[in-house]
């Protein structure tokens, strides 16, 4: 039993249930593409001036975590915002992460898909003063990813909003990137709830104007667009947009609040997944998707429904700090030996939030090693002055 803080600033007694899911490979091939966006584990013994220098990465833990996701039949979205791109992880670190991950994926027996984030973050905003400079920056990263054998995710770039880009600016950049890619790309629409610097993306503050622009971009050459990840946390918008996509172009939900219903679908259409929360709920996600293939929607929802409150807590406002909850669960579950993040990002959330994540993960059967999780949570509580 632990004394855990609650939102009113008091403590309550909590006893862990001790009934975790067991991670395993799915019995059948999954009929949804499911990319988990994974975090990066630091090496705390090599970290120096974490706010001011490149992060020191614990490569063994970082790659072992990815192999654990692949073992459960999930694919990987690499070097995305979940990996703290632009929030503690720079391009050179991301480049090494991509190259190491793709080598590891090629050696994995299930041959997982790995799609990687291409952006502009190796250049300062001052260096990205027009659409030509933005295009060149994207192309530089895309070349690295494709040379390593990765599929491109064209990440949303703060450079566009910094210059007040018009739809014509977006068109010039994205048209070229889509058409010259080796494999069909995944577009990335990340809302300002995840990153305030991405407000009015696609050159408009009118959502329907943005919809029409993106859809026309896809419709011009749909064979070169694998899909689009939408992270606006708006289920109705995603369902409407999904129905308007050309045949064969996937909608990858990035909605960490409503993913269960969006992936299940409405009987005619459904979303695939490219989600940070899937890195935290791997066993539930994998086994729920397996149940969906087997026609067992009751079990699908029984597995995923409890994870939704967990995800809503991890992704609560300020949403950009969600990575801390994902790293916490990796530590509690023994995937890494510490709770240290690049740039000291673990300090972005408070102990009451972490206590809520602990309770909700337990309710979702996602504290995979209950005794270890309780021991480590007790340690974290003690660091915050809560003795058990």
What percent of the chain has pLDDT above 70? 100
Residue 108 has pLDDT above 90, yes or no: yes
Q: Which pLDDT does position 157 carry in this prediction?
A: 97
Residue 82 has pLDDT above 90, yes or no: yes
- Token output for 109: 């027996």
The model's confidence at residue 143, banded by pLDDT at 50, 70 and 90, is: very high
Q: Which pLDDT does position 50 carry in this prediction?
A: 83
Residue 350 has pLDDT above 90, yes or no: yes
Contact 71, 23 (CB under 8 A): yes
Residues 28-48 have pLDDT tens digits of 999 999 999 999 999 999 988
Q: Which pLDDT does position 104 carry in this prediction?
A: 98
Q: Where are the domains of the chain?
A: 2-383
Residues 186-243 have pLDDT tens digits of 999 999 989 999 999 999 999 999 999 999 999 999 999 999 999 999 999 999 999 9
In the predicted model, what is the mean pLDDT of the chain?
97
The model's confidence at residue 57, banded by pLDDT at 50, 70 and 90, is: very high
Q: What is the pTM of this model?
A: 0.95
The model's confidence at residue 18, banded by pLDDT at 50, 70 and 90, is: confident
Q: Which pLDDT does position 48 carry in this prediction?
A: 87
> For the domain bounded by 2-383, which CATH number is listed?
3.20.20.70
What percent of the chain has pLDDT above 90? 96
The model's confidence at residue 51, banded by pLDDT at 50, 70 and 90, is: confident
Q: Which pLDDT does position 182 carry in this prediction?
A: 97
What value does the mean pLDDT take over residues 325-341?
Answer: 97
């Amino acid at each position: 039993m632990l004394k855990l803080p609650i939102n009113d600033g008091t403590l309550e007694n909590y006893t862990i249930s001790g009934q975790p899911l067991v991670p395993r490979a799915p019995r059948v091939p999954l009929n949804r593409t499911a990319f988990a966006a994974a975090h990066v584990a630091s090496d705390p013994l090599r970290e120096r001036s974490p706010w001011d220098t490149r992060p020191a990465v614990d490569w063994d833990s970082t790659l072992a975590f990815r192999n654990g996701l692949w073992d459960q039949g999930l694919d990987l979205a690499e070097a995305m915002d979940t990996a703290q791109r632009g929030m503690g992880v720079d391009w050179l670190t991301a480049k090494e992460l991509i190259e190491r991950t793709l080598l590891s994926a090629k050696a994995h027996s299930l041959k997982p898909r790995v799609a990687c984030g291409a952006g502009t973050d190796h250049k300062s905003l001052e260096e990205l003063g027009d659409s030509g400079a933005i295009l060149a920056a994207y192309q530089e990263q895309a070349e690295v990813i494709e040379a390593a054998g990765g599929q491109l995710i064209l990440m949303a770039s703060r450079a566009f909003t910094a210059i007040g880009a018009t739809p014509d600016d977006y068109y010039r950049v994205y048209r070229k990137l889509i058409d010259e890619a080796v494999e069909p790309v995944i577009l990335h629409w990340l809302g300002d709830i995840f990153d305030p610097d991405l407000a009015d993306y696609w050159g408009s503050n009118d959502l329907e104007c943005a919809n029409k622009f993106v859809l026309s971009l896809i419709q011009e050459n749909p064979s070169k667009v694998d899909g689009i990840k939408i992270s606006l946390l708006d289920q109705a918008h995603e369902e409407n947009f999904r129905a308007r996509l050309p045949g064969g172009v996937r909608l990858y939900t990035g909605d960490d609040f409503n993913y269960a219903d969006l992936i299940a679908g409405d009987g005619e259409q459904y979303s695939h997944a490219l989600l940070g929360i899937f890195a935290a709920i791997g066993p539930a996600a994998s086994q729920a998707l397996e149940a969906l293939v087997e026609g067992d929607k009751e079990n699908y929802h029984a597995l995923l429904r409890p994870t939704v409150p967990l995800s809503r807590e991890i992704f609560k406002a300020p949403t950009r700090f969600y990575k801390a909850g994902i790293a916490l669960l990796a530590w509690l579950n023994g995937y890494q030996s510490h709770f240290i993040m690049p740039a000291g990002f673990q300090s972005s959330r408070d102990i009451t939030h972490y206590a809520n994540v602990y309770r909700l993960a337990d309710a979702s059967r996602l504290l995979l090693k209950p005794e270890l999780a309780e021991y480590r949570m007790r340690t974290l509580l003690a660091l915050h002055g809560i003795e058990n």
